[in-house]
Structure formats: structure tokens, C-alpha cells
Structure 1
Amino acid sequence: MPRSRLLAAAFSLAAASLHAQTPTQADVAYGKHPKQVLDFYQAKSEGPAPLLFFTHGGGWMTGDKANPDFLAKCLEKGISVVSINYRFIPDAQAEKIDPPVKACLDDAARALQFVRSKAAEWKIDKTRIAGCGGSAGGFTSLWLAFSPDMADAKSADLVARESTRLSCVMAFVPQTTLDPQQMQAWIPNNEYGNHAFGLPSMQDFVAKRDTLLPWIEKFSPYALASPDDPPVLLFYDNPPNLGQPFKDPPHSANYGAGIAEKLKAVGIEHELNYNNDYGNMKYPDLFGFILAKLKPTK
């Protein structure tokens, strides 16, 4: 969903990123589809630099890799940045990929593997990569963080041998599940998610839930979360009220409140920040979390 839905205060620390920046390398292809491209911004660094891997939002239906969040802050602190484009759900449907959201997620994984394959050339530290994104981009970042490593050590494709694991995730208003039953229990007026499976309505989604459950569990951060997963910080611009309707259901803080118990139960280090409530947060601000977890040498 558009970032305009987020409060301006949420991005006060990332505002410098919105100034025009020229990528070190632009529209680098990581696949054959026109949307399988990324921009790379190289930070000045004596040795391999940590990296922010940014996935834009837009409900997997729209959006662009331009102006990744925290860009200026990252470059200032010696953190390189990659921002990706990826196939949207209509692109996946045109290619008869089922369920369509699989293409969006698979593209993010492939892009991350491609970036790691460029580590020597781009002076990237493979062991220090943070995921970042808003809304559907935040969901995708959490999916990468919580999924088992997709590296295939025996693949003839050298890119496919690379890891898909992340050091941490900073996500803005992310959805945290694609289970329609769970979503409507958390947010009763939620009508978001059916499009990910190419379904015309939420009613169809609920009706087909049991059939789709293997895919739902493969895609949902909630279902995937396990003890070996990296730290996450989830930001929402509204207070949680679990089980109650919200005026903007896809961005309800109930997604954060809903997954919080699971994160605690499995032992994943996590922070939930509502409305820039830094008083109850371990880090001085949102970017401070990324900085601490990547531990840049600069």
C-alpha cells in the first residue's frame, strides 16, 4: 500500500532518503522479466559494507524501487543499499503462476541471492544484511527473515547457492499473516489478502481457506516464525486494539499485536513501536535498530 498512508513522523529519520540519489548501478537485472531489476547504492567503506535490502510496498500490485527508506542515513553510516522491483500479482497471473503472490515473494528471494552473489564485486558483507519495507514490502521482508534458508548448495546455478537469510528486519505497517481466518479474528472488517491468491473476494478466500492452507502456512510470517529467526522491529502508526475493526484494515496495528505473542513464544527478539513511542523501545529510534544490528564498522 502507498506510504502516504503512514504518518510523516514515522519517516522523520528517513526523510533524507527522499532526496534524489543516483544509484551506483541502476536497473540491474536479476531475472528475465522487465520488473526483475534492482538499484544498488554503494556506501564508502574500507572493507565489505553491511547492506540494507529494501522491498517497496503497494499490496504486490503497484509501487517502485525509487527512494528506498533510510537511504541517506545508510550511506552516511557506511551501509550500502539495494532496492528491488519485482513482478506484481497481475504479472504472475499473466504467467499463470499459482498462487500469484508466489512470484512476488520468489522474486525477493532471488534478488537477495543475486545481491549476495555480487558481494565481492560490490564490496558487500554477506553476513550483515538487513531487510526493510513497508506494508506488503514489510510482509515480504518478514517472509524472507522467517523462511528456512532457500540456498541450494548443489545447484548448477551459482546464484541459487546463495543464502536468503537476513540479519534483522525493520518493517513499516506490515501484514503478518495471509490466513483469512486469523486476519478477520484480529481485524473483523479486513478485506485484504484474497488478491494474493487470485481470488475475487474475501468471501471466496475464507471459503477456500482449508484448501489453500499449505500455501498460507508457507507464506505467512506468523506461521513461519521459529527460534532461529533474526530480530525484527515492527512500526505501526496506530495503537493496537486486537479483535476490533480499523479504518484502514491492511495497516492495522492489530497485525503487530497478533504476531507479538508468537514472536515471544518462540523467542524471536522483537520490538513493536506504535506512533513513535520510543520511551518503551530499546533503541533511540527506528534507524537506530538497523544501525545496532548491522554493527557497521564506520
Structure 2
Amino acid sequence: MYHGGTNFDRSTGGPFIATSYDYDAPIDEYGIIRQQKWGHLKDVYKAIKLCEEALITTDPKISSLGQNLEAAVYKTGSVCAAFLANVDTKNDKTVNFSGNSYHLPAWSVSMLPDCKNVVLNTAKINSASAISNFVTEDISSLETSSSKWSWINEPVGISKDDILSKTGLLEQINTTADRSDYLWYSLSLDLADDPGSQTVLHIESLGHTLHAFINGKLAGNQAGNSDKSKLNVDIPIALVSGKNKIDLLSLTVGLQNYGAFFDTVGA
């Protein structure tokens, strides 16, 4: 794998599993070059390119140069390229090839585009190492920065016309027709008296994550995990006399795509 990646949306192996296919690839799943591997492969490809004419003209002749040593020679007319391999995983070796002596580090291949001069040995890395750092940036500064990130401020609660009224929390996958990870619930309460300070919001949900808002402000949240995705949570809340608005944002975090009868598992 040359470019890593991660499955998002419906293709994750959830719940709570991000199906990553990075595998320490030369370019990681964020599109960032992973040195020294990327630079070393670039050098390897350059060396192979120098051998191109011989590689596409004839088949190789394989010969043994000793125990765990071999040579692959592509030769036709005046064109010649050779690959000297030491498949010993622990010991360096010195070999004689076409009257010349070559040092082969353990588990390596030396490339000779002219059957004489080594342009690269795979065990010798010339590219510089690099470590990528992720930095946080305050969202308020993005308007004046060179960042390509963009965002919108979504209002709390239901803000569209396609709403429906139901009692209780719904099975989310069918309700959203599996087109979104998000589902809003909104409820209004009118309280004539002071509700006091002992009010607790109790929520039981098949959803994986939930954020609770009281009168437009975040009151609490809860997330399940890969072993137990269902939620059962008590959130202390502060209500006021008069009208109160309770908004719940339910989220799914990947949908199960394996196991017996996985298609019957709700969220």
C-alpha cells in the first residue's frame, strides 16, 4: 500500500471502530509524506528506472553467488542490468561478480544499471527522517489564517421543516434512512413553579453518543463503546419557571458490518 486511508461513513466496521488502512504507508491517511520510507522508495524507483531498458528487453538469468546470495542479470546486446541479493537476514556478505567485489548488507539488494556500478543498495537509506506534528488552532483565527478548513454554526435543535412527532426515542438507522449519523430530538416544557435544583434528565437510547442541551446550552453528554454502545445516562439539569426547551442530539459512530445477523442490529 502506497497511500493509507480510513473508511468513514457507512463503510466503517463499527460501532466505535474506525477501519484504518494506513499500514505505515509511505503516504499516510492524511496525505502526509512519511519519511524515511517515502524518500527511500523514491530513490529505489529512480534506480529501477535506470535499469528500464534492460528490464523490458529480456528475461533475467538467475545465478547463485554463494549461500543466501544470488544475482539476477538482464543482458541483451550492449544493454545490461544486474541485481545482487543477500537474503541472509542477519549477516552482511561480500561477493564477487563479473570480476568486481561488492559488499551486500544483510537482507538487501544492490542495483547495478550497467552491471558494474552500484547506484543503490536497499539497506542504505539516504532520505532524511521527519516526524509530523498536529497543531491545534483556535477556530476564531481561521478566518484570517491560511487554513483551508471551513465550518458552519449549526443551530441547536431542529431547524428544518421535515420533522415528525413521535413518543419516545426512535430506531435511528431506519429513521434517518441510513443517510446521516445525526438525529435531533426536541421537546418543550412549561413549568408554572420553580423546579428546584434536583432535576435529572434520564435517557435510554440505542444511539452510540448523545449530547443534551437545555434551553440552548450544553448540559451534558455520554458515549458508549465498542463493547456496549447503548446509552443509559442520568444528566443533572437546571430548568426554569416558564418555558423550557430540551434538545437531544443522537449520533451513530460507525455501523456494524460483520457478525451473525449484523443487519438486524439497530442504533
Q: TM-score, normalised by structure 1?
A: 0.21
Please say which structure displays the higher CA radius of gyration. Answer: 2
More strand by share: 2
Q: TM-score, normalised by structure 2?
A: 0.23
